[in-house]
């Protein structure tokens, strides 16, 4: 029988309530068996990171412990939640922030780190309130193992969720990605990290010799780890699939009857999740395309039978990402989906790498030209050529996302692009990236203010004359 453990029906609002439903047991067990056996448990559970890439959590902990080897090290929890179509971490923090604090304490103890930080967007005020209260109560109850944990408010940018940019923000710098990953160059590393002088290890200068390797894990990953430690690896493996055990929190938004977010057993077919959380499609409408965030190749109705599992989705040519699914109906044109995604990425790109900023803007401009009926055949070829170069000297994964999403749309819906350049008007629906403010009463509430964000990160209201949410 399905028993939710991450999202209790009634929100947990005090440490007493958390203890009453088993809170504290995961940390107690970790302290009892010691750091190495704790890591072994998490490895044995098969828990995979819920931030998008699905990297095994236990293996990450093990390699961090080995890399740090008694030196300075930190844990950072990624609570940025900026992926379009995803509302899981905020739901977790609203329903039970205590389990996250426990997971953070367990991870910090396991890898032998000095302290931990939780990066949470400043604008997520309800979540800040919950998390702050949970932290204070858990500390007072002795349920953080004396580990210093700091909640750091961050900017409302997509890149705040990119792990190296998150470290920058925690240091009080702008949230722009670094050259080296957190396990090589962590938060408060004494080596230079952002410009041409960046280096992972210093040469002889003791002032510049501390790389401070840092573990970065998502909110759901760490919250789940608390349950794995309390109930054991076998319990966790009794749910989900072999490759992706346990439960996950899914979000469904877009053209479905309603929007929804809920805890789901891994292995549940995508179609069932869309029906349960989204209420299926409105009468007379069919699914045309599904995106998992803006990070994986587009999916069609053929994916509805695929079980929610990192490997199963990968085997069919896409990915589950952070389990936030954006559903487009059959009135949507693939050219507009491409424009919307590429525009989102070009705006959010920080501009440190030319190939990314200039390239995503170029691809977006071509997609828009085609979308508004001014495209030519060579523009399609030009998009193909340009997306190959987006990742030239890229620091982070963002331009790869444009490559992945746009090329998959061209492959899956070539006719939409050909029709558009042949003069058939694109049905522009003015869809925007589902940057979610909330999901309430079955409705997604989008951040309409984002429409005004320009590529230079200024907010401006220059025209929406064509019905497209941004014009030059």
Ligand X SMILES: Cc1cc2nc3c(=O)[nH]c(=O)nc-3n(C[C@H](O)[C@H](O)[C@H](O)COP(=O)(O)O)c2cc1C
Q: For 24-41, b where at least 16 C-beta lie within 10 A, e where not — what string?
A: bebbebbeeeebeebbbb
Residue 350: which of ligand X, ligand SF4, none does it interact with, CB under 5 to 8 A by kind?
A: ligand SF4
Q: Does 386 bind ligand SF4 (CB under 6 A)?
A: no
Closer to ligand SF4 by Cβ: residue 158 or 183: 158
Per-residue x/- mask for ligand SF4, residues 169 to 208, rule CB under 6 A?
--------x-------------------------------
**DSSP one-letter string for 298-347:** -B-GGGTTSBS-HHHHHHTT---TTSEEEEEETT--HHHHHHHHHHHHHH
Residue 395: which of ligand SF4, ligand X, none does it interact with, CB under 5 to 8 A by kind?
A: ligand SF4
How far is the C-alpha of 370 from the C-alpha of 365, rounded, in Å?
Answer: 9
Contact (CB, 8 A) for 144 and 138: yes
- For the packed helices 334-348 and 354-371, what is the interaxial angle rounded to 10 degrees? 150
Residue 81: which of ligand SF4, ligand X, none does it interact with, CB under 5 to 8 A by kind?
A: ligand X
Site for ligand SF4 in 293-352 (CB under 6 A): 349-352
Closer to ligand X by Cβ: residue 127 or 379: 127
Q: Does 353 bind ligand SF4 (CB under 6 A)?
A: yes
Residue 224 CB neighbour total at 10 angstroms: 31
Find the helix or strand (DSSP H, E) in which 121 lies: strand 115-121
Residue 399: which of ligand SF4, ligand X, none does it interact with, CB under 5 to 8 A by kind?
A: ligand SF4
Residue 211: which of ligand X, ligand SF4, none does it interact with, CB under 5 to 8 A by kind?
A: none
Residue 356: which of ligand X, ligand SF4, none does it interact with, CB under 5 to 8 A by kind?
A: ligand SF4
Tokens of 395: 């620091």
How far is the C-alpha of 250 from the C-alpha of 86, rounded, in Å?
Answer: 8
Q: Does 395 bind ligand SF4 (CB under 6 A)?
A: yes
Binding-site ranges for ligand X (CB under 6 A): 49-53, 55, 78, 80-83, 158-159, 161-163, 216-218, 221, 396-398
- Total residues contacting ligand SF4 by CB under 6 A comes to 14
- Pick the piece of the chain touching ligand SF4 (CB under 6 A) from 137-145, 198-206, 361-369, 394-402: 394-402
Q: Does 399 bind ligand SF4 (CB under 6 A)?
A: yes
Task: Please say whether the dihedral angle defined by the alpha carbons of residues 100, 105, 109 and 114, taken in this order, is positive or negative.
Answer: positive
Closer to ligand X by Cβ: residue 72 or 394: 394
Closer to ligand X by Cβ: residue 333 or 402: 402
Closer to ligand X by Cβ: residue 50 or 65: 50
DSSP 11: P
Residue 327 CB neighbour total at 10 angstroms: 24
Site for ligand SF4 in 147-166 (CB under 6 A): 159
Find the helix or strand (DSSP H, E) in which 438 lies: strand 436-440
Beta partners for residue 217, in sequence order: 77
Closest distance to ligand X from the beta carbon of 350 (Å): 10
Closer to ligand X by Cβ: residue 332 or 401: 401
Q: Which of 320, 356, 366, 405 binds ligand SF4 (CB under 6 A)?
A: 356
Residue 118 CB neighbour total at 10 angstroms: 26
Residue 186: which residues within 8 A CB-CB, separation 6 or more?
Answer: 72, 73, 74, 167, 211, 212, 213, 214
Closer to ligand X by Cβ: residue 287 or 396: 396
- Closest alpha carbon to 68 in 93, 39, 29, 30: 39
Question: Is 385 exposed, middle or buried, given 0-12, 13-18 or 19+ CB atoms closer than 10 A?
Answer: exposed
Closest distance to ligand X from the beta carbon of 60 (Å): 6
Tokens of 309: 């599992």
Contact (CB, 8 A) for 120 and 131: yes
Q: Does 60 bind ligand SF4 (CB under 6 A)?
A: no
Closer to ligand X by Cβ: residue 218 or 241: 218
Closer to ligand SF4 by Cβ: residue 86 or 349: 349
Closer to ligand X by Cβ: residue 241 or 394: 394
Task: Please say whether the dihedral angle defined by the alpha carbons of residues 238, 243, 249 and 251, taken in this order, is positive or negative.
Answer: negative
Closest distance to ligand SF4 from the beta carbon of 176 (Å): 6
Residue 161: which of ligand SF4, ligand X, none does it interact with, CB under 5 to 8 A by kind?
A: ligand X
Give the footprint of ligand SF4 on this chain (CB under 6 A): 159, 177, 349-353, 356-357, 394-396, 398-399
């Amino acid at each position: 029988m399905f028993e939710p453990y991450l999202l209790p029906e009634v929100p947990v609002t005090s440490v007493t309530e958390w203890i009453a439903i088993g809170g504290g047991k995961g940390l107690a067990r970790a302290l009892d068996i010691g750091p190495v056996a704790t890591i072994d448990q998490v490895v044995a559970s098969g828990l995979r990171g819920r931030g998008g890439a699905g990297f095994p959590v236990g293996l990450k902990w093990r390699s961090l412990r080995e890399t740090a080897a008694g030196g300075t090290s930190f844990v950072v929890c990624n609570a940025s939640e900026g992926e379009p179509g995803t509302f899981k971490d905020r739901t977790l923090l609203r329903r039970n922030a205590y389990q996250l604090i426990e997971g953070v304490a367990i991870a910090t103890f396991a890898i032998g780190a000095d302290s931990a930080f939780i990066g949470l967007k400043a604008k997520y005020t309800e979540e800040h309130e919950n998390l702050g209260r949970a932290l204070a109560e858990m500390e007072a109850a002795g349920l953080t193992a004396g580990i210093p944990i700091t909640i750091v408010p961050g900017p409302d940018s997509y890149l705040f969720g990119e792990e190296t940019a998150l470290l920058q923000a925690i240091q009080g710098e702008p949230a722009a990605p670094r050259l080296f990953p957190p396990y090589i160059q962590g938060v408060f590393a004494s080596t230079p990290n952002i410009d041409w002088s960046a280096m992972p290890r210093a040469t002889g200068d003791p002032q510049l010799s501390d790389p401070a390797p840092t573990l970065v894990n998502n909110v759901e990953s760490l919250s789940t780890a608390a349950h794995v430690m309390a109930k054991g690896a076998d319990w966790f493996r009794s749910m989900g699939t072999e490759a992706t055990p346990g439960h996950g929190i899914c979000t469904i938004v877009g053209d479905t009857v309603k929007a929804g977010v809920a805890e789901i057993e891994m292995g549940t077919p995508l179609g069932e999740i869309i029906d349960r959380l989204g209420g299926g499609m409105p009468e007379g409408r069919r699914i045309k395309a599904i995106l998992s965030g803006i990070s994986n190749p587009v999916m069609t109705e053929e994916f509805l039978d695929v079980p929610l599992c990192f490997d199963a989705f990968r085997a069919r040519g896409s990915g589950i990402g952070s389990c936030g699914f954006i559903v487009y109906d059959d009135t949507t044109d693939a050219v507009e989906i491409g424009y919307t995604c590429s525009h989102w990425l070009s705006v959010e790109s920080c501009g440190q790498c030319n190939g990314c900023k200039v390239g995503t803007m170029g691809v977006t401009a071509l997609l828009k030209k085609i979308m508004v009926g001014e495209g030519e055949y060579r523009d399609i070829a030009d998009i193909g050529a340009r997306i190959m170069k987006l990742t030239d000297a890229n620091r982070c994964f963002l331009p790869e996302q444009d490559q992945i999403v746009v090329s998959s749309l061209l492959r899956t819906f070539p006719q939409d692009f050909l029709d558009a350049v042949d003069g058939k008007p694109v049905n522009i629906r003015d869809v925007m990236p589902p940057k979610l403010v909330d999901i309430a009463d079955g409705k997604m509430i989008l951040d309409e203010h984002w429409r005004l964000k320009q590529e230079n990160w200024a907010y401006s209201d220059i025209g929406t004359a064509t019905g497209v949410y941004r014009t030059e």
